[in-house]
Amino acid sequence: MQAGLLPARSVRDRLLALPKIEPLIEAANAGGHKGLLDENLLDKLLSEIKKKPKISEPIARTIAPIEKPKPKPAPRMHQLDHYRLDDFPIHAKDVDAEITVHFDITGNSVTEGKKEDIRSCFNDRLKQIRRLILDKNLPNRPIGVDEAIRYRKRYNNRDDAFTIIGLVNEPRTTKNGHLIFSLEDSSGQVTCLLSQRDEEDENQTIVHAGLMDDDAIGVSGYFSQTGDIIYVEDIHFPPLTQHNKRRSSEDQAVSAAFISDLHLGSKTFLEPQWHKMIRWFHDDPLAKTIRYLVISGDGVDGVGIYPGQDKELNIPDLFNQYSRLGTMLQELPDWVEVLLLPGNHDAVRPAEPQPALDPELQTDYNNTLFVGNPCDFSLNGVRVLSYHGVSIMDFVSSLRTVTFDTPEAAMRAMIDRRHLAPSWGGKTPLSPEPEDRLVIAEVPDIFVTGHVHGHHIETYKGVNLVHSSTWQDQTDYQRMLGFQPKPCILTVVNLHTHAMAAIPFV
């Protein structure tokens, strides 16, 4: 009746047998059918319903499987053939730990968050990276943006190219695939265009990848005839061809191990796999070489980090999460020194650089050094840069060459531009320290990040890149995004030979 339909007696039983009448009414309304509902019309409406997607069902059903996913096995990248135990003449417990911290913001944050601090931070970034770019063989001595603009009539053909160094603003790609951005130094700002060409060179790699907001770069080029745009011939990042890694001496041939993102306190923390690793630490000969364990942030899941998190926690109290983490780390053999950084789930300010955990959270820990994020330190002479990696999200959204499945591409981009988190106002909260401490002033021997819950090891331009593995299973949020983490892989690096190994505990 509601749909203006009068059911014939012949369809009565079939109507009563339907689980729900509403879809039929909807179909009748949609098709404009009124009057007698006989067998023919009922057949027609039922076939309409079958064709229609079930919009009343949760949308998630159509994009993600409803049954519990069976995680694919994590890739097993042992690479143990070149990670020989013979390279470790001594047990790690017989080698003195030598940890030198070169940079940690803990107790050294001086910003008041004022405009003046932001200006100083960017000026300092430009100054530091400019100095690095000047080490490159530039085609000509860089001039200020104001000078380039003043003499734009003179600099308007390829034979009179000039070079400027500045910060990138609003990089974007034109409809024709060219890269356009403005470049700013303390004297002025100018629009630059790098054309897309059918060539394969470093410039075209940049056109394809894009640039990050607030990247500090050099540009060589010349002005258009109208003088309002620079046609870019070359973009200059700081030079790095092949880094020569420092090594620990032969009598200190120990290894360092790397993990991050344990997310302890979350229901998805993989506790059995953790115990498996602890057993391995006590039993395996390779583990006897491990002098350090670096945990690059998100040791605990935290509290109130995202809406509805309380439902996903099995340790709802923050102090209990840290206390449990401390107890779990005490299960490691006593020759393992732990370095613990905070991440975005930890109970410290989110703005980077982040200080170390508060002393009141450090009470249940043995053999643990609490440092900030990022932290630049040496282990028996080998320089390590550890950064939790929140800015990887900005790299994913700015560069076409980076995805969540390839955080190593973000790490290469960080090394290339010598900066951990260039973009102000993106997804990474930044603390505007008057000196920009997120510049990678010193090329590390080992560069490690986490946060994305993937896993990867490679050597890039001589730097060992480690994207350390998580100890958290796939979360509902990751399942919705179709993201498959690579959990429970311990990365081990021999500090003398720089051989790397990945040990899975899945």
- Which of these ranges, 63-71, 111-119, 245-253, 257-265, lies near Fe ion under the rule CB under 5 A? 257-265
Identify residues 451-470 at the interface with Fe ion (CB under 5 A): 451
Q: Which is nearer to Fe ion, 216 or 371 (CB)?
A: 371
Q: How far is the CB of 408 from Fe ion (least distance, A)?
A: 16
Q: Which is nearer to Fe ion, 18 or 477 (CB)?
A: 477
From its phi and psi, is residue 193 left (phi > 0), alpha (psi between -120 and 50) or beta?
beta
Phi/psi of residue 216, each to 5°? -100, 120
Which stretches of 254-363 are assigned E, i.e. beta strand? 255-259, 290-296, 337-341
Q: How far is the CB of 53 from Fe ion (least distance, A)?
A: 35
Phi/psi of residue 457, each to 5°? -135, 140
Q: Which is nearer to Fe ion, 168 or 393 (CB)?
A: 393
The neighbour count for residue 424, using CB atoms within 10 Å, is 16
The neighbour count for residue 329, using CB atoms within 10 Å, is 21
Q: Which is nearer to Fe ion, 464 or 475 (CB)?
A: 475
The neighbour count for residue 60, using CB atoms within 10 Å, is 12
**Measured distance CA(235)–CA(8) in Å, rounded:** 78
Q: How far is the CB of 182 from Fe ion (least distance, A)?
A: 32
Evaluate the CA torsion angle 296, 297, 298, 300 in order and state its sign.
positive
Q: How many CA atoms lie within 13 A of 455 on its CB side?
A: 28
Q: How far is the CB of 386 from Fe ion (least distance, A)?
A: 13
Q: Are strands 500-504 and 290-296 parallel, antiparallel or unpaired?
A: unpaired
**Measured distance CA(43)–CA(32) in Å, rounded:** 15
- Which of these ranges, 46-54, 124-132, 254-262, 372-380, lies near Fe ion under the rule CB under 5 A? 254-262
The neighbour count for residue 144, using CB atoms within 10 Å, is 15
Binding mask 261-280 for Fe ion (x = CB under 5 A): x-------------------
Q: How far is the CB of 14 from Fe ion (least distance, A)?
A: 55
Q: Which is nearer to Fe ion, 83 or 505 (CB)?
A: 505
Asked if 203 touches Fe ion (CB under 5 A), the answer is: no
- Which of these ranges, 45-53, 132-140, 296-304, 365-373, lies near Fe ion under the rule CB under 5 A? 296-304
**Measured distance CA(491)–CA(309) in Å, rounded:** 29
Q: How far is the CB of 301 from Fe ion (least distance, A)?
A: 8
Q: Which is nearer to Fe ion, 289 or 344 (CB)?
A: 344
The neighbour count for residue 27, using CB atoms within 10 Å, is 20
Q: Which is nearer to Fe ion, 37 or 490 (CB)?
A: 490
Identify residues 27-66 at the interface with Fe ion (CB under 5 A): none
What string of DSSP letters covers 13-71?
HHHHH-S-SHHHHHHHHHHT--EEE-HHHHHHHHHHHHHS--TTS-THHHHS-SSPP-P
Q: How far is the CB of 451 from Fe ion (least distance, A)?
A: 4
- Which of these ranges, 20-28, 96-104, 255-263, 458-466, lies near Fe ion under the rule CB under 5 A? 255-263
Name the residue among 184, 172, 180 with its Cα closest to residue 130: 184
Q: Which is nearer to Fe ion, 370 or 471 (CB)?
A: 471
**Measured distance CA(426)–CA(501) in Å, rounded:** 34
Q: How far is the CB of 311 from Fe ion (least distance, A)?
A: 18
What residues contact residue 454 under an 8 Å CB cut-off, 6+ apart?
Answer: 404, 405, 406, 407, 467, 469, 485, 486
Asked if 343 touches Fe ion (CB under 5 A), the answer is: yes
- Which of these ranges, 25-33, 196-204, 338-346, 375-383, lies near Fe ion under the rule CB under 5 A? 338-346
Q: Which is nearer to Fe ion, 27 or 385 (CB)?
A: 385
Classify burial at 191, counting beta carbons within 10 Å of its beta carbon; exposed 0-12, middle 13-18, buried 19 or more: middle
Q: How far is the CB of 403 from Fe ion (least distance, A)?
A: 17
8 A C-beta contact, residue 255 and residue 289: yes
Q: How far is the CB of 175 from Fe ion (least distance, A)?
A: 36
What residues contact residue 213 under an 8 Å CB cut-off, 6+ apart?
Answer: 168, 169, 170, 171, 398, 422, 423, 424, 425, 426
- Which of these ranges, 48-56, 132-140, 293-301, 326-334, lies near Fe ion under the rule CB under 5 A? 293-301
Q: How far is the CB of 308 from Fe ion (least distance, A)?
A: 17
Q: Which is nearer to Fe ion, 184 or 261 (CB)?
A: 261
Asked if 394 touches Fe ion (CB under 5 A), the answer is: no
Q: With contacts defined by CB under 5 A, how many residues of the chain interact with Fe ion?
A: 5
Binding mask 298-317 for Fe ion (x = CB under 5 A): x-------------------
Q: Which is nearer to Fe ion, 163 or 391 (CB)?
A: 391
Asked if 344 touches Fe ion (CB under 5 A), the answer is: yes
Q: Which is nearer to Fe ion, 163 or 449 (CB)?
A: 449
Q: How far is the CB of 468 from Fe ion (least distance, A)?
A: 11
Identify residues 413-452 at the interface with Fe ion (CB under 5 A): 451
Residues forming contacts to Fe ion in the complex (CB under 5 A) are: 261, 298, 343-344, 451
